[in-house]
Amino acid sequence: MTAPVLHVRGVLLPSSEPVDLWLADGVVHTEPVPGAETVHTGGWIVPGLVDAHCHLGLGAGGAVDEETTLDQATTDRDAGTLLVRDAGSPSDTRWIQGRDDLPRLIRAGRHIARPRRYIRNFAVEVEPDDLVDTVAEQARAGDGWVKLVGDWIDREVGDLAPLWPADIAAEAIARAHELGAKVTAHCFGERSVAELVRAGIDGIEHGTGLDRDTIDLMAQRQVALVPTMINLATFPEIAASGQEKFPTYAAHMRDLHARHHDTLRAAVDAGVPVYAGTDAGGTIKHGRIADEIVALADLAGAEFALGAASWRARDWLGVPGIAPGESADLICYDANPLTDPAVTAHPARVILRGTVIA
């Protein structure tokens, strides 16, 4: 069956000009295509949203089955997320890439952590001597990204601490680069993010421990930051759960939370490239990209936040937005999300590969 030819009209953000787009054979056309059905007019159009830190195939206990993974992916898709950068999953999710009705997926393979230094059943667990080889394995297994766990609670010291010696991390990052992959890392605390940025890493997840010198170096090298604002909102709960056994850790997490807005604002002001990611999977629900956009808008404004979840994120990941001949992946809104970012929670049309999904 031939897919219908669609027509949409609206203001194509981030510009302020209305456009007419025709969607045929799964791609965008800017010239009229005969027989088109108008499915949206008079609103605003945004390139399909991007969740740049998402865990498809991951649940609170580790890997989940395909039915659960499918539910995760469709929940994200229906909320407007049409491109996912996976940030580590114990499941083999390559089958998603064969489904035209599911978001585009850029995979990172599994997290890499040390034994007893991360959440059980999430990561490939190795000691530092095996890090370089394991990074090479995950670089080959993914789609151009490798995910390290940069820090986690060290029960012997009762606080956050780096997992990897800085020299070994630098060697592992260099090996990934030799294989054409980029490396990103989970970092809550101060020391891990400073060491890994200096070691040549390409991305930082969360980044609550950033200091001025590390921010400046990230801006200079254009190291990406995905802060996962809705994850950071859980820090007080995390601190409370560790208070009895690890009071120093709990106090540290509360301190990181108390100053995270100022820390991240300083990164934005310095020119660090910042992108939207929900950290969905594990304990955070899927389909919350609008919540992340609203939180980023509170940090740096609506246009910054929407760009971090759409056109700028697509440019960063090398996936085209709305242009002639490119895949027709777009969201239509009845109201302007630059006036009210909460509008992103209410798409009028979600169109993936030229087909109206929701």
Identity (one letter) of the amino acid at 265? R
**What mean pLDDT comes out for the span 248-273?**
98
Torsion of CA 202, 207, 209, 213, to 10 degrees: 40
Element (H, E) at 168: helix 166-178
- CA 349/CA 358 separation, integer angstroms: 6
User: What is the arithmetic mean of pLDDT over 82-105?
Assistant: 97
Whether residue 2 has pLDDT greater than 70: no
**Do 6-46+321-356 and 49-317 come out as alike in CATH topology?**
no
pLDDT per residue as tens digits for the range 253-265: 999 999 999 999 9
User: What is the CATH code of the structural domain delimited by 6-46+321-356?
Assistant: 2.30.40.10
The pLDDT value given to residue 358: 79
Given the structure tokens 């101060």, which residue do they identify?
190
Q: Of 100, 44, 5, whose CA–CA distance to 322 is shortest?
A: 44
C-beta separation of 333 from 326 below 8 A: no
Q: Are 329 and 45 in contact (CB under 8 A)?
A: no
Give per-residue pLDDT as tens, 149-160. Answer: 999 999 999 999
In angstroms, the CA 141 to CA 37 distance is 42
pLDDT in tens, 22-74: 999 999 999 999 999 999 999 999 999 999 999 999 999 999 999 999 999 99
Strand 81-86 relative to strand 62-63, pairing: unpaired
Between the two ends of the chain, the Cα-to-Cα distance in Å is: 20
Compute CA distances 119 → 17, 21, 156, whole Å: 48, 46, 16
Q: With 90 as the cut, is the pLDDT of residue 161 above it? A: yes
pLDDT > 60? residue 1: no
pLDDT band at 4 (very low <50, low <70, confident <90, very high): confident
Q: Which amino acid is at 99?
A: R
Mean pLDDT of 131-138: 98
Whether 214 shows a pLDDT value over 50: the answer reads yes
What are the C-alpha distances in Å from 338 to residues 268, 309, 341?
Answer: 18, 13, 6
Q: In terms of CATH, what superfamily is 49-317?
A: Metal-dependent hydrolases (3.20.20.140)
Q: Is the peptide bond before 14 cis (omega within 30 degrees of 0)?
A: yes
Among 196, 238, 208, smallest CA distance to 299 is for: 208
| DSSP one-letter code for 5 | P
Domain residue spans of the chain: 6-46+321-356, 49-317
CA 253 to chain CA mean position, Å: 22
Q: What is the mean pLDDT of residues 209-224?
A: 98
State whether residue 177 is helix, strand or coil.
helix
Confidence of residue 3 (pLDDT cuts 50, 70, 90): confident
In this predicted structure, the answer to whether residue 241 has a pLDDT above a threshold of 90 is yes
Read off the pTM.
0.97
Percent of the chain with pLDDT over 90: 98
What 3 state SS string does 249-316 have? HHHHHHHHHHCHHHHHHHHHHHCCCECCCCCEEECECCCCHHHHHHHHHHHHCHHHHHHHCCHHHHHH
DSSP 98-152: G-TTS-EEE----EEE-TTSS-TTTEEE--GGGHHHHHHHHHHHTTSEEEEE-EE
Nearest C-alpha neighbor of 171 from the set 204, 131, 117, 198: 131
